[in-house]
Structure 1
């Protein structure tokens, strides 16, 4: 068995790893590269392998940095099955159709401003490409070992990251490979804790927060409540860039849990994301995957997804109307890194206001608008115009859907014996810190994945 590393190998986005085993070729994830314009331009480049030679794809979960090049893979010749957990299979078309729409809009905007002689910008893929890819999806349950190809078995275990997220166990050639996907922290609302896995001949593990620990969740919740109180006294709006899958649902969960304490009835709460509204439907259909506490909250009032003053903006007109509100609005909108989507329009209207508050509740990759705001930029460019940043900015780290260094060390510590390890899905500073901790504690070889690197299992 060999593993070839082609994405999220020295960066956080673009997850893609090719496994060759039992005479077959299996691709783990096929994610979109996110960040700067130069980084995102790499998405259109040829794959470092011929898609037609792949026998199967296995997806760890439905975040766009793990699935976003799937329609392109099919467009360029992949014809095999796409395996993923059942809830993820329902999320795939929602996420990918939204990505297709964004790509088409960005191409149209670029063509309106292109210089004479420049070639037309083309979307990365179309809605038709998404529909074609969905015909190849094969949903799988958690915790069943399944033969997906002759000589190749997989099992999906709950990763506790978002609904349907999975740790992938793969058996072939008498060896066992484990791919962590993205691991959630213990005690994450709604979701169950990541499954303990105890044996592997090689482990591919994410390292997004390999160099730090999150703030305690109760402290984070108090901080979030204080931000809302501060913003109310300031008579301003609160903008929260949030991924449509995972973070949005967790925020609504905490809103329901703290409805009275945060005096949320006085606010107008907007979920400005048609995609997030569809995702909520998937969560509702799969509430059997929730943890015990979330099932109790689900049955209580107010239901997190049906708050009495929650307004879902589905049309462009409804989204535009929000920007006429100068105070008293909490707006949750994508994208989570503010590098696209409707949140950019709300930022344009609010960044210049000193009484506005922008709350970041997730990881902001290098090169994104969110990262520039978190790093304290005084001016930012949105849709070709520069905007002064007067709004107050808050980074609330304890709501991350990724576990932290302590959580990664604890999860790895369950393996007996400790397996050799390749760290993926992390910037070098985070990976180096985690590699040092694991090497010191367990004395095992730890490698940092690089594009084109090959490891034998």
Structure 2
């Protein structure tokens, strides 16, 4: 076998791994690059092979940095199957068309207001492209072997992280390679812990928090404190949130805070992400994949007032009263949250609260780093609102939790490839694995190709 790293090297985005075995070629993950402009420009570059040469794609989960390139892959000639868990397929039916729609919307906005350097500004792909890609999906059950293509079999195990997230185990003859995908946390509020893996010949492991430990304090305490203090000074709490996974965790935590009297029961909560609304409904259909029972799911669903139309979204910006707005996207890279930031970021009474990892080069990372202004739709918006981050609400395992997961292996893999992390995080995890487990580790470069004997 041979593996080539087409993304998630030196960055947490763009996950794509090209695996070749004999005449067969597959991708594990097919994600978009996000963050710094040089990374985003890679989305427009040609892959090192024609998509028609690929036999299949196997997805670890639905987040766009793992799935968002699929519509372009299909548009450019891919005709194989896309394997994933059943919940991942349900989420991709929401995420991918929404991604295409947002790209069309943002390109149109840029053309109308003339702030793009391109004339005309074009989307990477359209909503129609994304809908066409869905016809190639072939969902499979967890813990069941299936044939990917000639010479390659696979099995998906639960990874935690978000609904449907999978650890992918691929087998070529007697040789096994395991992809961790994004590992969840053992004590997540909603998701089940990652499944245990005991043996593999080769391992590709994520390192988003590879050099950090999550604060052991209850993240709900800081969430409640921030919302309560912002409301007391007459402000609005804006929570940029990933529509899949994070929005649901935030809403359930807010439900518990209200139930316990930690924030006012009458404080208005708004969910301004149609995609998040649809994703939330999927939790009922996949009850075996998370911790919540039917009543808890219903409580999560009904915590917020749903903002459906663009007109309702615009009207929120004119409300002058304490409230909480949860809106996509989680790193403030696009979506409806940008319009709320334009409206509320200049007011020091307000708070922008991030509840997850902020990749380098994103607006979220800039805001957390202390920027006094942020560029939105070609204009700089003053940032006088307070900016807070709750790192330990992340759905990613931290360094200790990754090491604990790795400790279940009965033998060292022949080689462990550390990906999906900023350079300090990836190298930090490498050092810990080498020093504590004495495994052979490697930080692959972008487009690097490695033979797997």
> So what's the TM-score if we normalise by structure 2?
0.96
Partner of 2:240: 241
In the superposition, relative to structure 1, how do residues 414 and 368 fare at CA in structure 2: closer, same or farther (>3 Å)? same
In the superposition, relative to structure 1, how do residues 428 and 280 fare at CA in structure 2: closer, same or farther (>3 Å)? same
In the superposition, relative to structure 1, how do residues 217 and 81 fare at CA in structure 2: closer, same or farther (>3 Å)? farther
Count of matched residue pairs: 450
CA distance in 2, matches of 1:115, 1:364: 25
In the superposition, relative to structure 1, how do residues 366 and 117 fare at CA in structure 2: closer, same or farther (>3 Å)? closer
Partner of 1:280: 280
The alpha carbon displacement at 1:109 in A equals 2.6
**1:16-415 aligned within 5 A:** 16-114=16-114, 119-218=119-218, 220-260=219-259, 261-291=261-291, 294-295=292-293, 298-299=294-295, 303-307=299-303, 310-415=304-409
Contact 1:32 1:65 in 2 (8 A): yes
CA distance in 2, matches of 1:83, 1:123: 26
CA deviation digits over 1:4-62, x for unaligned, max 9? 10101111100000001143111001101111334322211111221110000000000
CA deviation digits over 1:397-444, x for unaligned, max 9? 110010000011111111110212000100110011110111011222
Deviates more, 1:256-265 or 1:227-236: 256-265
**Residue 448 of structure 1: which of 439, 443, 448 is its match?**
443
The alpha carbon displacement at 1:302 in A equals 6.8
Structure 2 spans left out of the alignment, 5+ residues: none
In the superposition, relative to structure 1, how do residues 121 and 215 fare at CA in structure 2: closer, same or farther (>3 Å)? same
In the superposition, relative to structure 1, how do residues 116 and 172 fare at CA in structure 2: closer, same or farther (>3 Å)? closer
CA deviation digits over 1:158-185, x for unaligned, max 9? 0001000000000013200000000011
CA distance in 1, matches of 2:432, 2:118: 50
Structure 1 spans left out of the alignment, 5+ residues: none
CA distance in 1, matches of 2:206, 2:296: 35
The alpha carbon displacement at 1:114 in A equals 4.7
SS at match of 1:265: coil
Q: CA RMSD in A?
A: 1.6
In the superposition, relative to structure 1, how do residues 64 and 171 fare at CA in structure 2: closer, same or farther (>3 Å)? same
CA distance in 1, matches of 2:439, 2:323: 51
CA distance in 2, matches of 1:164, 1:264: 33
> So what's the TM-score if we normalise by structure 1?
0.95
CA distance in 1, matches of 2:19, 2:95: 25
Contact 1:228 1:262 in 2 (8 A): no
CA deviation digits over 1:340-391, x for unaligned, max 9? 1111111111111111011110111111111110000011111111111111
